Amino acid sequence: MNTVLTMRGIVKDFPGMRALDHVDLEVRAGEVHCLLGQNGAGKSTLIKVLAGAHQPDSGELTWLGEPVRLSGPAAATRLGIATIYQELDLCDGLDIAENIFLGHERARAGFTRRASTARAATALLDRLGHAELRPDTLVGTLPAAAKQVVSMARALSYDARLIVMDEPSAALGNDEVGNLFRIIDQLRAEGVAVVYISHRLDEIRTIGDRITVLKDGRTVAAGLPARTTGTAEVVSLMTGDAAEAVLAQDNPRVEQRAEVLRVTGLALAERFRDVSFTVRAGEIVGLAGLVGAGRSEILETIYGARRPSAGQVLVDGRRVRPGSTTAAVAAGLGLAPEERKSQGLFLLESVGRNISAASLPRYSRFGWFDRRAERTDTGGVLARVGLRPADPDHPVRGLSGGNQQKAVLARWLLDDCRVLLLDEPTRGVDVGARADVYAQVRGLAERGVAVLMVSSELPELLGLADRVLVLRDGEIIHEARSAELAEAGIIAMIMEGSAL
């Protein structure tokens, strides 16, 4: 099998830190090469070097046997390297076809050939198994799974010989993941190389050929066989420690605690209907269901980001004004959304200001803002959640995905919220950082916070939640304590509406 790409001794420094320390990577034609490592291990920096977005300080990059220097993303694209980032770089104000061919428009005499562009986009969408997507649909109206398909179509539009996929399945349901794997198998058969980044080790074994592991900016293992390398070995390489369970076997159970959150008859037109449940102080309730079943919409409606068509939300027995996030925060509700960067963070602000965003009134008095108190308080919360670097002045956009999620959680720690709504809290978060997130969620519950959590990973829900609500087609069809449920039974209910 011919080598397509070789990266040898790649070094990349940023002010005050070395992100890549003599990293090596070799990718062959027609293989799926999986790149693993904790958040902050250097994966994102490495693929940005490969995409031409970052220039290495030293090291050698060879493409098809010839040394190359990628002066920018356009240079990488011309060679045949396409990158699909975890946070999709799509333009919501453009339609699907325009997004697919953005930067290499199909034009004649300076005018875009719209009919030709639409036909070409349709062919790519059909190749991906999503012919139902119309090329003239605005990308901003699409759900996360459909946006992922558009981003993949854009990569294929360049006739790439190597495609980098950064957490491509994170926003996809089971059916979409199966289709993604089918596409990857097709690319592999065509001789296209794929660099695949995922924190889901079962995916690595299913789709991968070889593994490279990064830790602290260094290559600690290269070329491991994906299908036969055990989970314990991979986790040990990533963390430097023996593998440990990231979920406790026995969670503290909530018996007779006061009711904090009550949702009654909540409905959102065409998304979900007649949703009713309660969450007690210190209780973690999981919401299971397929992508598109209405999970995120339920959380957003409780938080006031959407106005319900029926029903009500009560916190500590008091009704929360519907359709108002301001009223929700005042009532003690907090939300950690699925899309951290676009919905949960102020990317141009510091870590400290992101954490204090829900608590700013406490630092304002008589027209003066107490920045010293804000910095002291946010610094203390940073230490509690284990965010690195624990510097309130650090730009939040410079953090890894796991640390950004910790920043979102820290916001509600500082705010002393009564109810925390978590939407895919470990999406794109590595094994080590997941354990930190779990510890923070449990810590909040132990302090009496009521937690409602959405997760696509059933072992996570069963291991973390006290109770699980099963959602199918916008309705809660089953409720039970997690100790009484099995993963296979939940899947059967979700897929067929009946338990095994």
The reported pLDDT for the residue numbered 110 is 53
Check residues 461 and 33 and name the one with the higher pLDDT. Answer: 33
Residue 341 reports pLDDT greater than 70: no
Spatial separation of the C-alpha atoms in residues 97 and 139, rounded to whole Å? 9
Spatial separation of the C-alpha atoms in residues 86 and 89, rounded to whole Å? 9
Neighbours of 439 (CB within 10 A): 14
Beta strand pairing status for 193-197 and 162-166?
A: parallel
The reported pLDDT for the residue numbered 292 is 72
Q: Give the predicted TM-score (pTM) of the model.
A: 0.57
Which amino acid, one-letter code, is at 358? Answer: A
pLDDT digits (tens, 9 = 90+) for 466-482: 999 999 888 999 998 98
The reported pLDDT for the residue numbered 432 is 66
Chain centroid to CA 367? 39
pLDDT digits (tens, 9 = 90+) for 280-329: 999 999 999 877 788 999 999 999 999 999 999 999 999 999 999 999 98
pLDDT digits (tens, 9 = 90+) for 135-145: 999 999 988 77
CB 170 within 8 A of CB 338: no
Helix (H, G, I), strand (E, B) or coil at 456: coil
The reported pLDDT for the residue numbered 496 is 61
The reported pLDDT for the residue numbered 299 is 95
Task: Give me the helices (H) in 226-337, please.
Answer: 231-239, 295-302, 325-331
pLDDT digits (tens, 9 = 90+) for 43-61: 989 999 999 999 999 999 9
Q: Which of 198, 268, 286, 265 is nearest to 494 (CA)?
A: 286
Residue 245 reports pLDDT greater than 90: no
Residue 93 reports pLDDT greater than 50: yes
pLDDT digits (tens, 9 = 90+) for 102-123: 877 776 655 567 888 888 999 9
Question: How would residue 246 be classed by pLDDT, with cut points 50, 70 and 90?
Answer: very low
The reported pLDDT for the residue numbered 23 is 95
DSSP per-residue string spanning 18-59: EEEEEEEEEEETT-EEEEE--TTSSHHHHHHHHTTSS--SEE
- The CA–CA distances, whole Å, from 366 to 14, 248, 362, 414 equal 41, 47, 11, 22
Mean per-residue pLDDT over the chain, rounded: 84
Q: Which of 74, 79, 13 is nearest to 45 (CA)?
A: 13
Cβ neighbours of residue 202 closer than 8 Å, sequence gap 6 or more: none
In the chain the domains, ranked by start, together with CATH numbers, are 3-239 (3.40.50.300), 259-496 (3.40.50.300)
Q: What is the DSSP letter of 138?
A: B
pLDDT digits (tens, 9 = 90+) for 386-419: 777 777 878 888 887 778 878 877 787 776 789 9
- In percent, the amount of the chain with pLDDT more than 90 equals 37
